Amino acid sequence: MPAETPVCQLLERQDADYRGWLWVAPPRDAWLEGAEDGAGQGSVLSADHAVLQAWRARGLAASSPFDAPVSAEPPGAVLFWPKAHALGEWWLLWLCANLPAGTRLQLVGENQGGIRRVLKVLAALGLGCRKRDSARRCSLFETRLDRVDIDPDAAWSSFEAEGLTLVSHPGVFGHGKLDDGTRLLLEQLQDVLPEGGAKGRGELLDMGCGDGVLAAWLARRGHRVTAVDVNGFAVEATRRTLIANDLQGEALAGDVYSTLGERRFEVIVSNPPFHQERSIDYGPAGRLIREAPDHLVPGGQLILVANAFLPYPDLLQSAFGGFEILADDRRFRVYRAVKARRCFS
């Protein structure tokens, strides 16, 4: 199938033989995931659970950087440079540490996303570089990997907030600081969710867990918490945050509710991501709201914070038949919706 995204359209027109290559942090694209194409005969390395599941569904090799180290030696790798430059630098360091020296590496990205910055990054690491091509407002560079003296794990950092030690990583939402929307949400949870106590209060779900601040805050108050995020770095950050605070909880990679099966919760809390899409469902946030009743016990609550201008009231009204606004500081709103106790679904 033809490439769909600009970065893949640039790669598609290259004369390189990409069979067996490692695709690192790619977008969803039919050209990459098509097993009958040369691109599809390689493997993917990604921290995005949705990308990994899409490749695996087609019977293609897919792994996370948190799985076992790469055992194969691909003829080359393509790194899709992210807009978060610190995350791109982490991927580059990871590849230098885990693939053989001399492995060909191509780096591709959108010009507005800062792909040209890789020239300085590679030079600082002592890696040569040449520009291969540019088109579709994207650029493609090439180098060869070598060992460097920087450990990728040095990218992990920690900070204090709400009396908790929070562990974070480039690419995780709110990296290195407490988001203002999350702070407003915590203020409301303090009032509407009693402490769990010795017997607990049922299971709570932190959807889109980020660095784990909500999961850790709830666990500290005695609740049984499951945390989910599509971003593998966020899942690992949440695990490390729970450990750093000597708290219990489960952190899972998943695309919204995809890995939860039929599990139901007393409360779902979330500061969901906002994607600027034309789609009426607003991506993951729309699924979070629409499918929430299927994952709540009768009388269970969905409590979320969102930018005040987003049209979530319509989604909440449609999914629950009603909702209330717990707080509104003009920038953010905290919503609560309750599943009807009489439910025959």
- CATH homologous superfamily of 6-152: Vaccinia Virus protein VP39 (3.40.50.150)
Whether the CB-CB separation of 259 and 253 falls below 8 Å is answered with yes
pTM, two decimal places: 0.92
Whether the pLDDT of residue 48 is over 80: the answer is: yes
Q: What is the mean pLDDT of the chain?
A: 91
Q: Mean pLDDT across the stretch 208-233?
A: 97
Sign (positive or negative) of CA dihedral 168, 174, 177, 181: negative
Whether the pLDDT of residue 341 is over 90: the answer is: no
Considering only CA atoms, give the Rg of the chain: 22
pLDDT band at 37 (very low <50, low <70, confident <90, very high): low
Whole-number Å distance between alpha carbons of 158 and 164: 10
Whole-number Å distance between alpha carbons of 337 and 341: 12
CATH architecture assignment, domain 156-338: 3-Layer(aba) Sandwich (3.40)
Determine the pLDDT at residue 194: 82
pLDDT in tens, 266-278: 999 999 976 543 3
pLDDT in tens, 194-204: 877 544 457 99
Determine the pLDDT at residue 35: 58
Determine the pLDDT at residue 201: 59
Domain boundary assignment for the chain: 6-152, 156-338
pLDDT band at 7 (very low <50, low <70, confident <90, very high): very high
Whole-number Å distance between alpha carbons of 229 and 236: 10
Q: Residue 112: which residues within 8 A CB-CB, separation 6 or more?
A: 137
Sign (positive or negative) of CA dihedral 139, 117, 238, 66: positive
Encode 275-294: b = buried (16+ Cβ within 10 Å), e = exposed.
eeeeeeebebbbbbbbebbe
Tell me, yes or no, if the two domains 6-152 and 156-338 fold the same way: yes
Q: Residue 297: which residues within 8 A CB-CB, separation 6 or more?
A: 202, 264, 265, 266, 339
Whole-number Å distance between alpha carbons of 1 and 102: 31
Of residues 345 and 273, the one with the higher pLDDT is 273
Whether the CB-CB separation of 78 and 106 falls below 8 Å is answered with yes
Whether the pLDDT of residue 226 is over 70: the answer is: yes
Whole-number Å distance between alpha carbons of 283 and 263: 22
Quick one: residue 176, left, alpha or beta (phi over 0 = left, psi -120 to 50 = alpha)?
left
Instruction: For strands 265-270 and 138-144, give the pairing.
Output: unpaired
DSSP class per residue in 244-277? HTT---EEEE-STTTTSTT--EEEEEE-------
Which range has the top average pLDDT, 104-108, 192-196, 284-288? 104-108
pLDDT in tens, 115-148: 999 999 999 999 999 999 999 999 999 999 999 9
